[in-house]
Amino acid sequence: MTQHLLEVEGLKTEFKRGGGSVTAVAGVDFHIRKGEVLGLVGESGCGKSVTSLSIMRLLKDTPGKITGGSVRFEGTDLTKLSEKDMRRARGNDLAMIFQEPMTSLNPVLRIGLQLTEPIMLHLGYGRKKAREHAIHMLKLVGIPRAEEVIDEYPHQLSGGMRQRVMIAMAMSCNPKLLIADEPTTALDVTIQAQILDLMKRLKEEQEMGMLLITHDLGVVAEMCDRVVVMYAGRVVEEAPVQELFSNPKHPYTKGLIQSVPKLRQKVRRLESIKGNVPDLSQMPPGCKFAARCPFAMEKCVASEPELIPLAGASERKSRCWLTQDEAVEGGDRA
């Protein structure tokens, strides 16, 4: 069995709210192999970004806290590391591209200082060599006038250029795992394609694993090897990318795919999933998708199904009573 680069098991993250707490990530499980791209998809508020911040241990200055589970990177549980050891891992073995580069880059510091600081810290380069390496990374991500851009401020760059700077920063220390949280949000289509092609090329050149967080199923189809679908802080389906699109098992996944506009199909109105994601502070019993599911049964409202492997399928899992009943009928579950 191939050793997993990253293995998340039973991850649970809670946020303080008033006198109590709400669970934003409820027992999430998935893994990533070396050189593999795993897509993490779902509606806004389903827990995707909180999952990534939990993996990177970036909840310190928020009301959030990891309250259960493990995050093993090359066998080491990141949740058990001291803050000093975790800082050493970030930017070196683990790197992250944040959703909005304008808020992630410090507006009062030049690009060069923000790029060279992690290079000097993690690679041990002197200031001159770190600057040369930073310029090289800016050129690598396709930024023209790299020798000039390195001395500019973030507000002097376009959104696409700032995103490229973020990618250069994340890739500068040759990480083994890259987490990209909505890396093409708010960028025009041409720039999106360039950013995705760049990430794909850098991933192949450095054989790194990647967790790609997005709500764009077109990006998932182009970039990912496997897909994890989240809903209300839970994994509801996992599958290789081609199998997910050709034969989705969970009703929520089917709804997401059906809601994608189809250029060659004449339709009067766009498909949508009725209703809203439940309030995290008032989670209903049973399946959390039951209130929006066209196939819901009494059993769905009464008790929540487990995420189980599907019979006869390679790396396929589903959290749905329909698929679990099928497995029972087929004699695959006790």
Output the DSSP codes for 49-114: HHHHHHHTT--TTSSEEEEEEEEEETTEEGGGS-HHHHHHHBTTTEEEE-S-HHHHS-TTS-HHHH
Segment 125-173, tens digit of pLDDT: 999 999 999 999 999 888 999 999 999 999 999 888 888 898 889 888 8
Q: 115: which 2 tokens?
A: 């790029």
- Enumerate the β-bridge partners of residue 212: 39, 180
Q: How far apart are CA 279 and CA 73, in angstroms?
A: 32
Which of the given ranges, 23-32, 94-103, 253-262, has the highest pLDDT on average?
Answer: 23-32
State the maximum Cα–Cα separation within the chain, in Å, rounded to a whole number: 67
Residue 226 contacts residue 209 (beta carbons within 8 Å): no
Model confidence at 271, pLDDT cuts 50, 70, 90, reads: confident
Domain ranges, ordered by start, for the chain = 106-174, 257-329
SS3 249: coil
The candidate with the shortest Cα–Cα distance to 312, out of 257, 247, 221, is 247
pLDDT of residue 323: 86
Tell me: pLDDT of 283 over 80. Answer: yes
Asked if residue 330 has pLDDT above 50, the reply is: no
Answer yes or no: is pLDDT of 326 > 60.
Answer: no
Instruction: Give me the mean pLDDT over the 232-255 stretch.
Output: 94
SS3 253: helix
Share of the chain above pLDDT 70, in %: 92
**Average pLDDT for 250-260:** 91
**Average pLDDT, stretch 316-331?**
72
pLDDT-based confidence at residue 267 (cuts at 50, 70, 90): low
Alpha-carbon gap, residue 217 to 197, rounded angstroms: 16
